[in-house]
Amino acid sequence: MPKRLSFVWDYDIDEARFCDILSGRIELGRLNRRWAAVRLLEYAPYREIIRLLGYGELIRHRSDWRPHIRSASRRRGFDFLVDWVPRHHPELI
């Protein structure tokens, strides 16, 4: 049985399909790469975000995704991470 992601509870999308959308390989109507990234950043646990997106993608696309993240605390957390990782752990990018 395909793995379901807890942060995509309101869509009939399994992990493989979500990863296809997140990578930009497919779009399902309005469900595109930005939608998947913002959904991940808003609702997923930190480990899932890094596993599915990685530090490099998060840093490269921050300015595209940040305005769409509704939670101010999440935005602040990602702002810190995007600033901290390159300075302290550039090997992770």
| 22 within domain boundaries | yes
Does 82 map to a domain?
yes
Q: What is the mean pLDDT of residues 12-28?
A: 97
CA distance 44 to 74: 11
Dihedral (Cα; 52, 62, 73, 27), 10-degree rounding: -50
Q: Is residue 86 part of a domain?
A: yes
The HSE-up count of residue 89 (CA atoms within 13 Å, CB side) is 9
Given a contact cutoff of 8 angstroms between Cβ atoms, the answer to whether 55 and 47 are in contact is no
**Amino acid identity, position 66:** R
**% of the chain at pLDDT higher than 90:** 96
Domain of 62? Answer: 6-92
> Rounded CA gap, 15 and 91, in Å?
27
Tell me the pLDDT tens digit for each residue of 35-79.
999 999 999 999 999 999 999 999 999 999 999 999 999 999 999
Radius of gyration of the chain from Cα atoms?
A: 13
- Is 49 domain-assigned? yes
* pTM for this predicted structure: 0.92
Report the number of distinct structural domains present in the chain.
1
- Indicate whether 1 belongs to any domain: no
Residue 21 CB contacts under 8 Å (≥ 6 apart), including other chains: 13, 27, 28, 31, 32, 33, 35, 36
Asked whether 27 and 34 are in contact (CB, 8 A), the reply is no
pLDDT, position 2: 75
